[in-house]
Structure 1
Amino acid sequence: MGSAGNPAQTYLPSDTFIAVMGSQFHQLQNNLLTHLSGTQDVTAYTFQHNGKTIHLIDTPGFDDTYRTDSDVLRDLAYYLASSYGNGYRLSGIIYLHPITHNRLTGTAFKNLRTFRKLCGTQSMSSTVLATTMWSGVTPEVGNARELELKETAEFWGDMIREGSTVYRHTDDHHSAINIISFLTDRDTKTVLELQAEMVDQKRSLEDTEAGREVDREMSKQREMFEKRLERTRQELEEAIAAKDDQHVKEIMQEQERFEAKLAAIQQGREELRISMEALISDKEKRHEEEMAKMTEQLTASQLEAKKQADEWQKYKEQSERQRKQDEVQKKKREEELEAAKQQAVDADLDKIRIALEAIQVIQLQVKEAEKREEEMLDIVAAEWSRKESQMKNALAEQAKLLERQCQMAYDMKTMEYLRHHQLQFLQQQQILAGMQQQMGNHNQQPPPYQEHPPCPQPSYGYYQVPHQSPYQNQTSYHNQAPPTQQGYGHESAAGGAAVGAGMGLATGAALTGAAMLGGCSII
């Protein structure tokens, strides 16, 4: 809400003031303890709580990359001393420390020492030591680090024994309000050591405990940079002797950085040699210079704003003219577009009419084609029926012809069969006659034999012609063995005659053969 420039014009003595400091500050969203590590000026965050106006005074830390510790201390001293001189008192101090830090070393430990010197022993009872960022560690690790802070004297141990209170700020609104309520409910005021030294005791900044602590730190830094600068001088001589131009360039750049650091430290130590009056005067002078610069910038800004306003007015007028021209052009284009649309509609209507007429013609053509197709189908069906009838008649004629052909073939086969057996019979008679003649020549007196009744002569009428249907594959024989079996009989008779002649049994063989030819059995 306000700044370090003039707190007397910003606050009321009845308000509650709480300073927020720390080794490293972090923006804690959605809560009241907010501090940016890049804060360069003392600023305030004002809010209402339990009917009180509370100002959280956000102070810069001693870990600023772009500012020296002496510059930061000067701003703190000016704000704290001037507000104390105008009757404003602090109700408490909140020191924030992230629990994610493993140990208090380096810059964090230096800031803690400066904080203790700035506050003094008498303000420790109004100080809250608050750990933050608990979500970044496990409970076990956080508890162990908090215990180390409490039990180590040079960390928080001595401040706790002097009356400081430890809180956990869990990065939410509720825990922030708890810390603030603890300080406001005490309803006490405190005076920092730096305020008493500069206002009541009229000491210069370098003679305050905080000033001496900062000066000691700057002296250590000066010695460190002087040693580094001396070492770079030796390295520079070696690089020049080795004719290593690149290394020479790097060393010279490093020397320039060290020399700039030393100059800043020396200037910082000189800035500590300032009294309260001189500090206020210097701040007021700087404030006036800043105001003059701001006024100059404001004047330049106003001139620039006027120039921009004129250009804007000119642009508006030009835009208005262009807008009117665009409207005329737009209206003209709309009229042309409307006319084109009407023409397109008329043309489309003509196309639709022509298309409808074409569709009607096509429909008539389709109907005629369907009618022709139906007539053609009727003709094809009639022709198919006629051809089917002709085909059936032809098949019937073919069947009759086939039956006659089969009967004729069967009759021819039967005639051939009869001729074959007649020929065999004649051959057998010749063989029998020859055998009888041979028997007459060899036997003057034939042996007695039993007469048998004469065998009937073969009769062709004894066989019945086999009947075969032209539509059957099987042949049936009635009252007679198949021709193939009779064939086997004649072949057996001929074979028997031949065997009998070979063995000298011509008579028996002849009789046997004759009997077989006649179809009789020999007893």
Structure 2
Amino acid sequence: MSNICSVVGETGSGKSTLINKIIGRDEVVIGHELESMTKTITAVTLTHQKKKIIFFDTPGFDDTYLPDAKVFQMIASFLRDLYERQVYVNGILYCHPIDNRRVTGSSRRQLEFMERLIGQKSLKNVIFVLTFADRMDYNRDLMDSRIGELKRTYWAPFLAKDARMFIKDGDGPPRALVDMVLRSQKTILDLQRELVDERRTLLRTSAGGTIKTESENKISYLEQELEALRKEIKDPATRKDPELVQEIRKLEDEVKSKLEIVKSELVSLDRQTDSSST
């Protein structure tokens, strides 16, 4: 039976590059700063020591073209399908560029989401992969300082549950990382149990709670923006300028459209109950 490993992280964190190095070929489309290319979950297979491992490159929540709710639906559908086929996950590789000077808001959201999706019992299957370590060779002290900060703060809940770390250094295939995945016991993630065994909708899962909070914050922000535009258009000074009124009405329509999309996404997440509905 195949070993399953999911590779996660922000766009540009080195996910696809890492998979390229693991399989020893350049077959995976690599994300870059102008366009997010990882719009679907891409799978590649490696045979190592007569054992097959399938690596899945999953989109992140900072994806340029995919809203968070859509990314969640894709990941949930994929994990649910694995579980229904009795195929279990060995490892979750979380890619983080070591030369990043700070953990972004989307990184923090993704870590919270991942912790809830995986569940406390399966955090031991997480391997934090520090990518692009070769960029820091000139300053080992700075690299050690950043690693120490990550271990003390954002990664602490995972490491306390026996999650591990791996530093991707050099150009060669990271066989030691592959060995770490193979040594990991297969596990059932909390999201899989909630969707299949407990028949919850996506919105009512633990991981879905993070998406719900984020969407509700977006709705609140957009409603405030819409109210501000409506007040501005009622201002006597504004109404004297027809072109300005037209521009504000255009912005109002755009905000309304965004608001409807976010609200409809929330509704759709509360309807996801089986594989056929995604």
CA drift at 1:107: 1.5
Could you tell me which of 195, 206, 211 is aligned with 1:209? 206
Deviation at 1:92, TM superposition (A): 0.9
Match of 2:107 in 1: 108
Amino acid in structure 2 at the alignment position of 1:20? V
* Matches of 2:76 and 2:247, distance apart in 1: 39
**Which aligned pairs between 1:72-151 and structure 2 lie closer than 5 A?**
72-137=71-136, 138-151=139-152
Q: 1: CA distance between counterparts of 2:237 and 2:46?
A: 63
2:266 maps to what in 1?
Answer: 269
Question: Which of 10, 13, 28 is residue 17 of structure 2 equivalent to?
Answer: 28
Query: Which residue, 239, 249, 264 being the options, matches 2:246?
Result: 249
Q: With structure 1 as the length reference, what TM-score do the two structures score?
A: 0.48
| Equivalent residue number for residue 40 of structure 2 | 41
Count, aligned residues = 264
What per-residue deviation string (whole Å, max 9, x for no partner) do you get for residues 130-160 of structure 1? 11122444433322222111101xx101111
1:226 is the counterpart of 2:223: yes
2:2 equivalent to 1:15:
yes
| 1:246-305 residue CA offsets vs partner (Å, 9 max, x unmatched) | 43333233223222221111011011112432xx1224xxxxxxxxxxxxxxxxxxxxxx
Deviations 1:90-143 (A, max 9, x none): 111101112232222322211111111111111111110111122444433322
Please state whether the residue corresponding to 1:78 is helix, strand or coil. helix
Question: Alignment partner of 1:189: what SS?
Answer: coil
Assess if the C-alpha contact under 8 Å between 2:42 and 2:57 holds in 1: yes
Query: Aligned pair 1:179/2:177, yes or no?
Result: yes
- Per the normalisation by structure 2, the TM-score is 0.87
In structure 2, C-alpha distance between the alignment counterparts of 1:256 and 1:38, rounded to whole Å: 29
Q: 1:308-387 counterparts in 2 under 5 A?
A: none
TM alignment of 1:411-450, pairs within 5 A: none
Would the aligned equivalents of 1:202 and 1:275 in 2 still touch at CA under 8 Å? no
Contact 1:46 1:54 in 2 (8 A): yes
1:194 touches 1:209 (CA, 8 Å); kept in 2? yes
Q: How does 1:498-517 map to 2 (within 5 A)?
A: none
Secondary structure in structure 2 of the residue aligned to 1:225: helix
Query: Where do 4+ consecutive residues of structure 1 move more than 4 Å?
Result: none
- Structure 1 pair 245–139 and aligned structure 2 pair: CA distance change class (3 A): farther
| Structure number having the greater strand percentage | 2
8 A Cα contact 2:7 2:95, kept in partner: yes
Q: Is 1:190 matched up with 2:179?
A: no
Deviations 1:154-173 (A, max 9, x none): x1011110111011122633
The one-letter code sitting in structure 2 at the alignment partner of 1:225 is L
Letter in 2 for 1:139: R
Question: Deviations for 1:18-71, whole angstroms, at most 9, x for unmatched residues?
Answer: 011113343427512866343122220112111111100111111112221111
CA contact (8 A) 2:69 2:211 kept: yes
**In 2, Cα distance between the equivalents of 1:101 and 1:120?**
27
**Higher Cα radius of gyration:** 1
Tell me by how many angstroms 1:236 deviates: 2.5
Deviation at 1:205, TM superposition (A): 1.1
Determine the structure 1 residue equivalent to 2:255: 258
| 1:240 Cα deviation after fit | 5.7
Matches of 1:217 and 1:139, distance apart in 2:
37
More helix by share: 1
Residue number in structure 2 paired with 1:281: 276
When the two chains are superposed, the root-mean-square deviation of aligned CA atoms in Å is 2.1
Query: Relative to structure 1, is the Cα distance of residues 81 and 140 closer, same or farther in structure 2, using a 3 angstrom cutoff?
Result: same
Give the match for residue 51 of structure 1: 50
- Distance in 2 (CA, whole Å) between partners of 1:268 and 1:171 is 42
CA distance in 2, matches of 1:274, 1:161: 35
Question: 1:18, 1:56 within 8 Å by CA — same for their partners in 2?
Answer: yes
1:167 aligned counterpart, secondary structure: strand
Q: Which amino acid aligns with 1:98?
A: P
* Whole-Å separation in 2 of the counterparts to 1:180 and 1:208: 31
Going from structure 1 to structure 2, the CA distance change for 1:192 and 1:234 (only over 3 Å counts) comes to same
